[in-house]
Amino acid sequence: MATIRKAIPSDGAQLVQLFSALDQETEFMLMEPGERKLSVEQQVDIINELSDSRSKVLFIASEKNVIVGFLGGCGGAANKDSHSIHIAMGILTSFWGKSIGSQLLQTFIVWATENQFHRIELTVMEHNTRAQSLYKNMGFESEGIKRDSLKVNGHYVNEHYMALLI
């Protein structure tokens, strides 16, 4: 079982490595290999900003003190959408199928509930059926399709909007 916790500044270097590895090993991340330009110092600054926020958070999953996944959330900034939070998640492929995604989501849902969020939303690529199954198993429902929203390996890809009301 992985350890799930909020990111702290000393995680900066490992998070930069994680994001780079995720960008290289799966097409399901938004950034392509080499596109993400994030220094350790920038990542540490981001983590420090998150520590004071009620509407933004970054959880990490680690095994044997190595970060193997993350789940980040960013809540709405306006009064009308401050009850909603958008999430993104990534797990190294060698750790897929080990319930880390479920653990990250369970921890996040508790945090979101404690911080008075009502809606957790995300988008997932149409052909990422593994992630869609995970989200459905966690109670997320499909709300529609964002047509040709991404261009992956020269092909347009639809994304599914999904949300969980808590």
Identify the band that residue 51 occupies on the pLDDT scale cut at 50, 70 and 90.
Answer: confident
Residue among 83, 123, 102 nearest 2 (CA): 102
Give how far the C-alpha of residue 38 lies from the chain's centroid of Cα atoms, to the nearest Å: 17
Alpha-carbon span 141 to 18, nearest angstrom: 28
Residue 84: name the closest of 93, 75, 92 by CA: 75
* 64 in Cβ contact with 75 (< 8 Å): no
Dmax (CA) for the chain in angstroms is 42
Residue 52's pLDDT is 82
**pLDDT interval class at 142 (50, 70, 90):** very high
Domain ranges of the chain: 3-117
pLDDT score at 61: 98
Is CATH 3.50.50.60 the classification given to domain 3-117? no
